[in-house]
Structure 1
């Protein structure tokens, strides 16, 4: 049974009500996040099952495929169920599998936005995120077409990915920022300071790679707590994130409906204060 201790919804930008266990679609691509997913029909079923299970926040990017992931989501889910929010990103060139080259040139960003609108079959992107700062282009230039798109009603809210506090504040001089998507999980907390900053500012924090449960040294500790809850280590890793901060939105990805169900059940786990502290050490 879900307890009332941990809030399971979050208002993105103070407006869009999101169930905090969402879905990250990156895995629904070929090897190296490149090319078409091997089993397209299964991928569509996973996306449909996610929405049927209550997921209303799906994270994708122009760079996944590239472009193929966004089209897959539209094929599987369009017309979208009311309240379903598709977040996407732009700002990466993808010359081949496993290759990611930041491209913050305004023309490329504008092209990404227009392409995402068409592929997702939406008139407004609820959350558009800058995938990376391009070290060769001032972020003020990169975000200029994004600000134009917001003004034109093509983007509702804007987020950033893999950024520090200084970069968030620099971007905010151009336009409001409602979310940050950084690598963060039970075993990798290098962005702790950024998470705490977003919590104070009431910005969403979207940890990518949320399922990593940390180094082997933590295994005994996690296994013991997982056994106590009759849960998997992955579920404990997600439950810990949900309790870590109320602005965290989870986007675990999977190609399996079984794993999807497992991830969704993480919301039902309420760690005791002692268990939470033990995992947080």
Structure 2
């Protein structure tokens, strides 16, 4: 268990809902079945965002899980909106924009309070104090419980912590992609939850011989080895692997029971030098 913000207990291996298709049935029903199975298997942390289907992912989770089980944390993110650009999105950290996205998220998730709200990206065109100030106002109003960040540097995290309490950081990080090792170290020092997005994809896609060898020795899959490594690498890491298949979900969650020996961990540690 990990206490997010010091008082919100969640199991360390969560579920990322980004990959769940939100189209019409039978695809939609299959997605609902996956996330329900995740909760049945003990997942207490589910990650979504306004950006995931521009609200459709939040609506799907509410359809599948409302009324929510006691102790279930659904965290969402704001600060990104749809755009005609090649990326399909743009920053929007304007206070009015953030307040509007939060109001929409409350309605879609069918809650009066979002226990953990993360700023999806810092908008470089808006002062950070204004962005976090808007979220802090929502916190004072009781619409937001705790505030987190996503894709930040150590310097940005420090600036944010000087403005408000930050309880989580969600950066890309996995066994072979340790660019944000300094951010992880800062989170560990401060007791801030670190939610690595893409916790498996990079390592599995690389399919290095060493990961495959360790997996074979343990009777596990490379994905399970990657997740087990994350769980043992730092006590503040809360991986949120995502999938649209129940079998893959069950495989991922079984990684929590996989013990890596010091020898195995040392071999894996050497695969990528920390940034």
TM-score computed with the length of structure 1 as normaliser:
0.92
The answer (yes or no) to whether the contact 1:88–1:129 under 8 Å persists in 2 is: yes
Residues of 2 paired with 1:273 and 1:38: CA distance? 45
Task: Verify: 1:28 aligned to 2:16, yes or no.
Answer: no
User: Comparing 89-98 with 135-144, which one deviates more in the overlay?
Assistant: 89-98
Q: Structure 2: give runs of 5+ residues left out of the alignment.
A: 271-275
SS at match of 2:201: coil
Residues of 2 paired with 1:116 and 1:252: CA distance? 22
CA deviations on 1:161-185 (whole Å, 9 max, x unpaired) are 0001111111122210001000000
User: Which residue is equivalent to 2:80?
Assistant: 92
Match of 1:268 among 233, 242, 257: 257
The 1:238–1:62 alpha-carbon spacing in structure 2 relative to 1, beyond 3 Å, is same
The list of structure 1 runs, each at least 4 consecutive aligned residues, that deviate by more than 2 angstroms after superposition, is 35-38, 95-98, 212-218
Task: Verify: 1:19 aligned to 2:11, yes or no.
Answer: yes
The 1:203–1:28 alpha-carbon spacing in structure 2 relative to 1, beyond 3 Å, is same
The answer (yes or no) to whether the contact 1:187–1:212 under 8 Å persists in 2 is: no
Q: Structure 1: give runs of 5+ residues left out of the alignment.
A: 1-8
TM-score computed with the length of structure 2 as normaliser:
0.94
Task: Verify: 1:280 aligned to 2:272, yes or no.
Answer: no
CA deviations on 1:96-141 (whole Å, 9 max, x unpaired) are 6952211111111000111111111111111000000111111111
The 1:172–1:235 alpha-carbon spacing in structure 2 relative to 1, beyond 3 Å, is same
CA deviations on 1:21-41 (whole Å, 9 max, x unpaired) are 1000011146xxxx7798100
Residues of 1 paired with 2:24 and 2:170: CA distance? 24
Match of 1:162 among 151, 156, 162: 151
User: Which residue is equivalent to 2:273?
Assistant: none
RMSD over aligned Cα atoms:
1.8
Match of 1:46 among 34, 54, 60: 34
